[in-house]
Amino acid sequence: DGDLLLQGLGASPGIASGPAQTVGKLDQLDKVGEGDIIVTEMTTPDMVPAMKRASGIITNEGGMTSHAAIVARELGAPAIVGAGTATEQLEDGQLVTIDGEKGSVTEGTVEPDEQTDAVEAVRPENPVKPMTATEVKVNVSIPEAGERAAATGADGVGLLRMEHMILSTNKTPERYIADHGEDAYVEEIIDGVRGVADDFYPRPVRVRTLDAPTDEFRQMEGGESEPHEHNPMLGYRGIRRSLDRSELFKYELEAFRRLFEMGYDNVEVMFPLVNDAEDVIQARNLMEEAGVDPEVRSWGVMIETPAAALSIEEMAEAGIDFASFGTNDLTQYTLAVDRNNEHVADRFDELHPSVLQLIGDTIETCREYDVATSICGQAGSKPEMVRFLVNNGVSSISANIDAVRDVQHEVKRKEQKLLLDSIR
């Protein structure tokens, strides 16, 4: 019942109360204690340890697909993004309550029994896992969420992000290797992947190679050598960075080789932000040089640009086993809408006809080449997108941890309807 202080976008449902703690620099993270509310411009992977301690998260910037929104849902922490001037309006120690569904920040606190985390807020009414022909997988951003993700009953991990394993060290790959050695860097990756692979074995775990924009690297130790880019999302990231710095990329591939050698045959390799078959061929060649046999191991690509969707036939001929839609980027690149810009958040629409046509055409081509298709963007958790994908014959859908059960039931309903329609 407190006065409304701020209004933003509800990014992770639930209600949390606590003292606000404004974080402007990384060296201020230590002041965030158990049960505090983090208030910051925008969260980054190296802030995850503090986010785990917090009961809620508020950011000035960002949209529903921002780092804060994605990680908060995995942690089960209520979150509000795009709140504008939160860091200016809220004082350290000020008691506030956030509603991660309504996007509101109010003054004062509520009783403990009125507070809910993101898990409780979206707990499915029907706890029974339905059987579906379309696999329903789960997205995992941070390895620590693996056990909770596995408990959803998902058919595997459609996306495990590697960057959180590396950036959580607060050092760029170059600096980490310089300080600790090449083997330590490889082990850092192995430890992160192995934990999730253990949680899910023998269910598949699809690991995306490093895909962090330069502005995130620049905040790390060693980041002073990173280029300053006007729009990092369109810049030096994904497979283009990996191919350009193959001397570093080989350590990621070495981590995969060792994981396979250790018996983790449920691990799959996924390359981000490819544009065409040339990207795919170069990545495959480097994989072979590292001792990973592309004829034996499952590997594939992210479809995140219109160019990738339009080049899918050539990439299929290059030998990929799967193609996974990263709808967050595919939407922003197709519609020219910055997905982290709250000023154009209302124009970010994964269900836009142009985006759906790119997805539908890609699925059709992949079926001709016996290439599996999946979705691992946030849109995979939306009922409308689920129905579209099942109707078009997608192989699997990977959803947020808190949406897996709902997606399973939505898939089941759509598959039953398709079956009935075929009988009629």
Q: How do beta strands 135-140 and 79-81 pair?
A: unpaired
**Gap between the Cα atoms of 386 and 76, Å rounded:** 23
For residue 95, give the amino acid letter.
L
Locate 285 and state its tokens. Answer: 């060649």
**Gap between the Cα atoms of 185 and 191, Å rounded:** 10
The angle formed by the CA atoms of residues 177, 183 and 187, to the nearest 5 degrees, is 100
**Is residue 402 within 8 Å of 122, Cβ to Cβ?**
yes
From the CA atom positions of the chain, what is the Rg in Å? Answer: 21
Closest CA to 319 of 298, 333, 339: 298
Closest CA to 63 of 348, 377, 355: 348
Is 377 in a helix, a strand, or coil? Answer: coil
**Gap between the Cα atoms of 338 and 419, Å rounded:** 39
**Gap between the Cα atoms of 145 and 268, Å rounded:** 19
Residue 257: CB partners within 8 Å, gap ≥ 6? 290, 291, 292
**Gap between the Cα atoms of 255 and 369, Å rounded:** 29
Closest CA to 322 of 207, 203, 243, 162: 207
134 backbone dihedrals φ, ψ, rounded to 5°: -80, 125
- Tokens 């004062």 belong to 108
Count other Cβ atoms within 10 Å, centred on residue 125. 7
Locate 346 and state its tokens. Answer: 């209302």
Locate 13 and state its tokens. Answer: 């449902």
Locate 312 and state its tokens. Answer: 């899918």
For residue 386, give the amino acid letter.
V
Q: Which residues pair with 325 in a beta bridge?
A: 303, 375
Closest CA to 16 of 62, 58, 74, 71: 58
**Gap between the Cα atoms of 149 and 29, Å rounded:** 26
- Give the residue numbers annotated as catalytic, written as ranges: 67, 376
Is 249 in a helix, a strand, or coil? Answer: helix
